[in-house]
Structure 1
Amino acid sequence: MSSDRASPETVMARYAELINRHDFSLLVPLIDPDATFWFSSGTHAGVAAARAAFEATWRKLADETYWLEDLNWTAIGDKAASCTYTFRWRATVDGQPAQGSGRGTTVLGRDQDGWRIRHEHLSAFPKIT
């Protein structure tokens, strides 16, 4: 088992670290081949679709910094785990500083080689009316 995939907590920490290198190939070992990502840009099923979504974002936000806060492990079992968190980002958009945040959920699964991300759902915080 890869030390990067030894536990769900390790996978999420490594994912949060590597995502800021803007090189999707570094993330591939942490992502299940059949993973599904739900972003505001749509549903992205499989590694190729996820790569396209990540790389499109990185093209728009070339200097983006992304991080996770307040991870809450809602379940950790022998074969599956899930967590919720706040995600935050900072970048330059159209020459102006920009930042944002939202809420995320990640589901991980374990196979013979360790833990991998099987599903991620990022969304905006609900609007208070």
Structure 2
Amino acid sequence: MGYEKAFQEYIDATNTHDFNNVRKYLHDDALYWFTNKTCATPAEIQAYFETTWEVIRDEEYWATDIRWLHADEHFATCVYAYHYRGIYDGKPVSGNGRATNVFKVDDNGEWKLIHEHLSSIK
């Protein structure tokens, strides 16, 4: 599986709202920088995802303007605009921001997300 396919499948997995699906695409050493929190362990990452899915019901997440900055046989880095919509406190909500993702080939030869940095645009 190439890095571009891994990226799209990661986005698709996120939209299942089942962290077991997301976990398949995460490197064991994954590090997330969210606007309001850093998550450095699988348990922290899972808790953040699951809390978000609880707070924003029926959330849909997608990426646009994807630009691959670097890719070789071991690493691939992209930046993109992220968007989401869902239901918050019974009302429709939506938003967007900027993201950076870094993928790394793991010991099994699979592309895995090792870093994600999301920041909102205000």
TM-score, length-scaled by structure 2: 0.95
Distance 1:96 1:56 in 2: 18
Question: Corresponding residue for 2:115?
Answer: 119
Runs of 4 or more, structure 1, over 6 Å off, are none
Distance 2:27 2:8 in 1: 16
Question: Corresponding residue for 1:3?
Answer: none
Distance 1:103 1:70 in 2: 10
Q: How large is the RMSD of aligned CA atoms in angstroms?
A: 1.0
Q: Is the 8 A contact 2:63 2:81 kept in 1?
A: yes
The Cα offsets for residues 56-84 of structure 1, whole Å up to 9 and x where unpaired, read as 10010121111111110000011111000
Structure 2 unaligned spans of 5+: none
Match of 1:28 among 23, 27, 42: 23
Does the alignment pair 1:79 with 2:74? yes
The Cα offsets for residues 48-107 of structure 1, whole Å up to 9 and x where unpaired, read as 110010001001012111111111000001111100000000011111111000000000
Q: Map residues 7-22 of structure 1 onto 2, 5 A cutoff.
A: 7-22=2-17
Structure having the larger proportion of residues in helix: 1
Aligned length: 121
The Cα offsets for residues 24-57 of structure 1, whole Å up to 9 and x where unpaired, read as 0011111011100111230001211100100010
Structure 1 unaligned spans of 5+: 1-5
Distance 1:29 1:21 in 2: 13
Does the alignment pair 1:98 with 2:85? no
* Aligned residue identity for 2:90: G
TM-score, length-scaled by structure 1: 0.90
